Amino acid sequence: MTGIGFEHPLALLLLPLAPVLVWWLLRRRRPAVRYSDVSLLAAVPSAGAAWAKWGGAVLRGLTVLFAILAVANFRIPDLKTRLPVDGIALSLVIDVSGSMGTPDFDPAAAPPVSRLDAAKQTFALFVSGGTATDGGTFNGRGNDQIGLVTFAAVPETACPLTHNHSVLLKVVNDLQPKVGLDAGTNVGDALGLGLAGFDGMTKNGDRRRKVLVLLSDGEHNREGERVLRPLQAAQLAEKLGVPIYTIDCGGEGGGTPDERQQRADGRAVLETMATLSGGRSFVANNPDELRAAFADIDRLEKLPAESYRYRKYFAFNLWCGLAAAACVLLVGVLERTAWRRLP
């Protein structure tokens, strides 16, 4: 059984006092009465004196021992009770298609900030905590298990759910837009992969809240019999009790009416997905709006969950203290009755 130990282990340095006290009590000479003839005492049995001598020394040694154990607080963990913690399981599903490299998110910056770079910076602030340039404060998500799914034409798990946020943020920092054969935006399969990442927790009986955050600047444009459509993924998330928070960072579209309509249609799909799954939809076309979206998610998704680390203990300091008191009482009673010696 792991976790057995003492709350104040330095107190155990006093343990040698117990055997030293027993040794000293057995070695010390008791006061005596001078008498010219002790033949009258020859017939008195000596067994009682031995019991009194050894019993008194041992009980006093046990008193010291139990008192030290009470101070050190011997304890064992309660393996049946999990403590509540303020944590969830969250998976960021982020678009890394070529358009996410467009440097239009903060044109006033030098150099201009791309959509993907802005997403990486804000997500790092969301996870680690700190103060944003607009004065907003993030407390960090230290108790959360957080994972990362990236997607363009094909989604992939860039980082499984983990408490090791430093590794996660290194993976996030290395993200680059995909081009060439991987061009495209496969929102549906990406969400399906994000949901699949929670399977292990469900099988292990982890009942903590599970959340998906989808950040994309485009519309789902992959078709096929085996491709999961965005609304199908949202319905699946709703059945599993996983809300989807969608963040659209694709701007208002190009100058033609068709391009603007395509952008509006894509944004409407994201809003429907969020509504179906019980989440919320955000539009973020600059750094301030993106930080505001993550700040809302940070505020909404702080719910109690059960920890797998057992920090509740059965402490025995009271029992050890009572045992020490019982030894003191017992030796006092016995030395005034059965173990009484003269002088």
pLDDT of residue 79: 61
For the chain, percent of residues with pLDDT exceeding 90: 40
pLDDT of residue 173: 95
Of residues 169 and 219, more confidently modeled? 169
Q: Residue 123 falls within a domain, yes or no?
A: yes
pLDDT of residue 205: 73
Instruction: Verify that 321 and 197 share a domain, yes or no.
Output: no
What's this model's pTM, rounded to 2 decimal places? 0.65
Q: Residue 37 falls within a domain, yes or no?
A: no
Instruction: Verify that 315 and 301 share a domain, yes or no.
Output: no
Instruction: Verify that 63 and 129 share a domain, yes or no.
Output: no
What's the pLDDT tens digit per position in 30-62? 655 555 555 555 555 554 566 667 777 788 888
Confidence of residue 315 (pLDDT cuts 50, 70, 90): confident
> How many structural domains compose the chain?
2
> How does the average pLDDT of the chain come out, rounded?
83
What CATH number does the domain containing 161 carry?
3.40.50.410
Instruction: Verify that 289 and 323 share a domain, yes or no.
Output: no
What's the pLDDT tens digit per position in 292-309? 999 999 999 876 544 455
Q: At which residue do the structure tokens 């041992």 appear?
A: 58
pLDDT of residue 40: 54
Q: Residue 340 falls within a domain, yes or no?
A: no
Q: What whole-number distance in Å separates Cα of residue 189 and Cα of residue 195?
A: 10
Domain coverage including residue 320: 5-30+44-79+311-334
What's the pLDDT tens digit per position in 60-114? 888 888 888 888 887 776 666 655 555 789 999 999 999 999 888 877 776 889 9
Q: How many other CB atoms are there within 10 angstroms of residue 201's CB atom?
A: 15
Instruction: Verify that 183 and 48 share a domain, yes or no.
Output: no
Q: Residue 341 falls within a domain, yes or no?
A: no
Task: Kindly state the average pLDDT of the residues 235-262.
Answer: 88
Residue 165's φ and ψ, nearest 5 degrees, are: -70, -25
Is 115:217 a contact under the CB 8 Å cutoff? yes
Q: Residue 257 falls within a domain, yes or no?
A: yes
Instruction: Verify that 75 and 20 share a domain, yes or no.
Output: yes
Q: Residue 72 falls within a domain, yes or no?
A: yes
Instruction: Verify that 265 and 295 share a domain, yes or no.
Output: yes
Q: Residue 58 falls within a domain, yes or no?
A: yes
Instruction: Verify that 211 and 317 share a domain, yes or no.
Output: no
Instruction: Verify that 240 and 326 share a domain, yes or no.
Output: no
Instruction: Verify that 231 and 158 share a domain, yes or no.
Output: yes
Confidence of residue 172 (pLDDT cuts 50, 70, 90): very high
Instruction: Verify that 257 and 326 share a domain, yes or no.
Output: no
pLDDT of residue 1: 47
For residue 339, give the amino acid letter.
W
Instruction: Verify that 284 and 261 share a domain, yes or no.
Output: yes
Q: What is the dihedral of CA 168, 170, 171, 174, to 10 degrees?
A: 160
Q: Residue 39 falls within a domain, yes or no?
A: no
Strand partners, 75: 5, 315
